[in-house]
């Protein structure tokens, strides 16, 4: 059987970059020629270099942490990828967050990492199950300080200083009121339904969860109205969407979490870090209860991370940035798939 197909199969075995064949790239339905991919790769390398230059200037230490773990995140919006190593299951990191916070508990100062992360069930023009993340932690930075830091590095990567001259900053509540006349903090589901006509199938999927309604409106309506070719920062997400952010001291309904958007694309997610180990564990348990109730996969919690938080970490803020999306924006592309020879 192999002889029958070998003449057709063997020319496709070589990687296109190795063979230098634009014909093979065409057969693989890739978007560009070899030379075009080479130039994209060179510019990508330059952008990675700018990240390291920025953090070196800021005296932030680059670290490297394990990609695999015997535990996984409990976050209800993220699914870990399970792999088998030796005699048991391991999980590929969805973020280096827990490992980096463990380093903070050991006395490390400002740190950053550029690494591959993996998330199951993510695929689309701006989503991939494997992507490059920049994550960093700054000691004693408040919300204003970490937002400024984030916008500065985004502008540095893209090499466009004008981005930090025209930044729109809105609270989550202000954005919803401004664009949809909906108060996401104080309006209930019935009030939201009165102001926006949802498809009945969506309402079934949302299962009476207010956060699902808000996530949908932010992604499909509000983000589309942000200023073009500028950065928009949304701050103070609802406490129910805090993840591991601190709750605001003067308003328990909101958190010290923010996201940064370029046009309608989210490129950064950060917050003033919650450092209370007891509260972190309670949030993990709440996630696990949600997963059980909604028949989502339940993964083992990271007990080493909880132990590290019990030791304590200093007041700090952290950010995760999707590098591939910034690279895509800088290249003027519409899809992550246009950036690489390889297709995931």
Q: Which of 4-8, 72-76, 127-131, 267-271 has the lowest mean pLDDT?
A: 4-8
pLDDT, position 14: 46
Q: Phi and psi at residue 106, in whole multiples of 5°? A: -90, 0
Average pLDDT value for residue range 103-108: 97
Determine contact, residues 330/43, Cβ cutoff 8 Å: yes
80: left (phi over 0), alpha (psi -120 to 50) or beta: beta
pLDDT, position 26: 65
Q: What six digits make up the tokens of 213?
A: 């309604």
Nearest CA among 231, 78, 50 for reference residue 156 = 50
Indicate if the pLDDT at residue 341 is higher than 80.
no
pLDDT, tens digit, 9 for 90 and up, residues 288-327: 999 999 999 999 999 999 999 999 999 999 999 999 999 9
Determine contact, residues 39/207, Cβ cutoff 8 Å: no
Nearest CA among 98, 151, 116 for reference residue 273 = 98
Please enumerate in sequence order all residues whose Cβ is within 8 A of that of 247, keeping only pairs 6 or more positions apart, or say none.
239, 254, 255, 256, 274
pLDDT, tens digit, 9 for 90 and up, residues 60-72: 999 999 999 999 9
Please enumerate in sequence order all residues whose Cβ is within 8 A of that of 92, keeping only pairs 6 or more positions apart, or say none.
67, 68, 80, 81, 82, 83, 117, 118
3-state secondary structure of 124: strand
Query: Which of 335 and 8 is assigned the larger pLDDT?
Result: 335
Q: Phi and psi at residue 184, in whole multiples of 5°? A: -70, -15
Determine contact, residues 134/323, Cβ cutoff 8 Å: yes
């Amino acid at each position: 059987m192999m002889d029958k197909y070998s003449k057709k199969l063997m020319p496709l075995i070589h990687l296109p970059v190795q063979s230098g064949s634009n014909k093979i790239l065409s057969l693989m339905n890739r978007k560009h020629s070899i030379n075009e991919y080479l130039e994209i790769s060179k510019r990508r390398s330059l952008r990675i270099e700018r990240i390291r230059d920025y953090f070196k200037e800021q005296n932030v230490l680059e670290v490297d942490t394990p990609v695999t773990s015997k535990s996984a995140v409990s976050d209800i919006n993220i699914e870990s990828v399970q792999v088998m190593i030796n005699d048991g299951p391991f999980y590929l990191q969805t973020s280096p967050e827990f490992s980096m916070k463990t380093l903070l508990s050991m006395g490390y100062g400002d740190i950053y990492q550029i690494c591959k992360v993996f998330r199951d069930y993510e695929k689309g023009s701006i989503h991939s199950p494997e992507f490059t993340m920049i994550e960093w932690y700054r000691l004693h930075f408040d919300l204003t300080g970490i937002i400024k830091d984030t916008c500065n590095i985004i502008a540095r990567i893209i090499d466009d200083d004008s981005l930090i001259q025209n930044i729109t900053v809105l609270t989550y509540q202000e954005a919803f009121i401004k664009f949809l006349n909906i108060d996401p903090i104080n309006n209930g589901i019935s009030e939201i339904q009165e102001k926006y006509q949802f498809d009945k199938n969506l309402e079934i999927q949302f299962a009476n969860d207010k956060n699902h309604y808000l996530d949908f409106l932010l992604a499909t309506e509000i983000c589309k109205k942000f200023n073009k070719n500028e950065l928009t920062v949304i701050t103070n997400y609802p406490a129910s969407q805090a993840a591991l952010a601190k709750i605001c001291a003067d308003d328990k309904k909101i958190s010290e979490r923010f996201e940064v958007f370029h046009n309608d694309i989210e490129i950064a997610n950060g917050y003033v870090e919650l450092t209370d180990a007891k509260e972190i564990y309670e949030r993990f348990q709440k996630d696990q209860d949600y997963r059980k109730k909604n028949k989502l996969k339940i993964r083992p919690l990271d007990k080493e991370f909880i132990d590290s938080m019990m030791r304590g970490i200093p007041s700090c803020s952290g950010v995760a940035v999707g590098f591939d999306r910034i690279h895509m924006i800088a290249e003027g592309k519409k899809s992550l798939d246009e950036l690489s020879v390889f297709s995931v």
